[in-house]
Structure formats: C-alpha cells, structure tokens
Amino acid sequence: VTATRPDRTHPAGPGTEPRPLASRLQINAVSFDLDDTLFAQEEWLAGAWRAVADAAAHAGVDGARLLVELEAIAALGSDGGQIIDRALYRIGATDVAIEPLVDAFRTHVPDHLTPYVGVPEALARLAAQVPLALVSDGDPTIQRAKLAALGLGDHFTVVVWSDEHGRSHRKPDPLPFRVAVEGLGVPADEVVHVGDRPAKDVAGAAAAGLHSIRVRTGEWAATPDDDRALASYATVSEAIDAIDALRAQR
Ligand SMILES: [Mg+2]
C-alpha cells in the first residue's frame, strides 16, 4: 500500500484543508479576474438569453422555444460561438434578422448580479490593506454592466478591460496585466492575480511577472491546475483568506 501524496494538479482538492501560502512571499497588491472568479458567469448569461428571447418574440418568433434552445446550446460550452444563429436554426426561424438579437445580448444590463458567497466582505477587507485591480477580457460594455450589477466596483483602484487595449491583448497576453501593475504602483512580483482559468489567468500573470492563485469555480472548474500558480483554492474567499493570513504573518 502506497502512502497518499498530495495531488499536484489539485493541491487543495475536495475534502482537503486549503494550504497556506509560502511565508517568503511579499504581496502588496492583488489583481482579480471577473467572470467565474467573483461571480457565476452563468447568472449573467441566463439573463442575457432571456433578453435575446424577448427580442425574438417581438420579431414574431416563439421566444419560449428559442430560450430552451439557447440555453441547451450554451450549456455545451461558451467557446462554441454562433449560439443565437444555431438556436434560430433549430426552431426553424432562419428568416429572422439576427442583429437586433445580438444587440439584445450585448446591451443586456442586469439590475443585480450575485457575487460568490463572502466576496463583498472579503474584498472590502483586502482593499483596506492593499490596492486591488480587476483584469478582465470580454466586451467592455458588457463587463462594465456586470461590475455595476455586482456592486463591487468601489473596491478596485485599477480596472483593466483588455479589449480597450486591442482585441489581440486578451489574456494570456501580458499587456493587460502590465497595465494593472502600472496602475497599482507596486513591482509586478509583489502582485498576485487571482483567477479561474489557468490558460488565461495563470499563464497571463506569469508572462507579465505576477504571481497567481487559481480558483476552481465556474465553467472551467474541472480544468487541471497550472504549476505556475502559487496555489489553487476552491473559492475566491479561500484565496483571499490565504492572502490575509500571509500578510498577517509579516
Ligand atoms: Mg474568468
């Protein structure tokens, strides 16, 4: 019988205690991803699909049927693209103008979105100690509406929407991280970026010389960890607790 060793791909897997961060680290600013890190992107998406179905109903399409198809196709993964086109095709509504429906998606402004449990309190506590940045891909109009609906905007000293620096600078491009570091006013190696997608958040932070922590929430929760992350936690609240504990030691 071999002894159980910690799984390197999931250092803090289900049922294990989150591990503390190495005490030699000096963290003087923290950067965060938005979607599936601070809140469940699927909550926003559900509202956006309802807005698309409503717009379609105005154009004479069966909105309820379209909504079922939109959600079914979207459940296959957000990277598929052409979701509205495919849903219209499935219900045989191929003669409908798609632009107003895409507009309904893009301009969807939710009144309220729900941050993950404990996030508003944890961010407020952290923001009282160190400057915080938000680094997010996606359409800046949509991303701004999400941040407003979450009510978290006041905690961030710096907000970087990578698309405002050109579409070719989406994560893992280092540029949005460099812009954040400059705004935070601390050296890159004193910043830790917290995000859910190893290939974007961990890889991008590493490319720009920041530390990173991976959180296993949202659509990409089952994706294996990237060894370049300092740690992997089940939630962003656990990640913030670990950063708090590290700073309290110093
Ligand atoms: Mg994300």
Q: Confirm if 212 and 239 have CB atoms less than 8 A apart.
A: no
For the record, the structure tokens of 249 come out as 């030691």
pLDDT in tens, 187-223: 999 999 999 999 999 999 999 999 999 999 999 999 9
Measured between its terminal Cα atoms, the distance across the chain in Å is 41
CA dist list (Å): 191 to 35, 180, 196: 20, 10, 17
The neighbour count for residue 54, using CB atoms within 10 Å, is 15
CA 240, chain centre distance (Å): 15
Q: How far is the CA of 110 from the centre of ligand 1 (A)?
A: 19
As a whole number of angstroms, the distance between CA 86 and CA 80 comes to 10
CA neighbours within 13 Å on the CB side: how many for 93?
Answer: 24
For the record, the structure tokens of 180 come out as 């954040």
- pLDDT higher than 50, residue 179: yes
Q: How far is the CA of 99 from the centre of ligand 1 (A)?
A: 27
Residue 155 pLDDT level (bands cut at 50, 70, 90): very high
Q: How far is the CA of 243 from the centre of ligand 1 (A)?
A: 19
pLDDT in tens, 65-88: 999 999 999 988 766 668 999 999
Please name the residue that has the structure tokens 């407003």. 148
pLDDT in tens, 10-66: 444 555 677 888 888 999 999 999 999 999 999 999 999 999 999 999 999 999 999
The neighbour count for residue 109, using CB atoms within 10 Å, is 14
- pLDDT higher than 50, residue 138: yes
What is the chain's alpha carbon radius of gyration, rounded to the nearest angstrom?
20
Q: How far is the CA of 218 from the centre of ligand 1 (A)?
A: 8
As a whole number of angstroms, the distance between CA 126 and CA 152 comes to 13
| Catalytic annotation present for 33 | yes
H/E run at residue 229: none
As a whole number of angstroms, the distance between CA 172 and CA 71 comes to 28
Looking at residue 79, its pLDDT comes to: 63
Q: How far is the CA of 38 from the centre of ligand 1 (A)?
A: 8
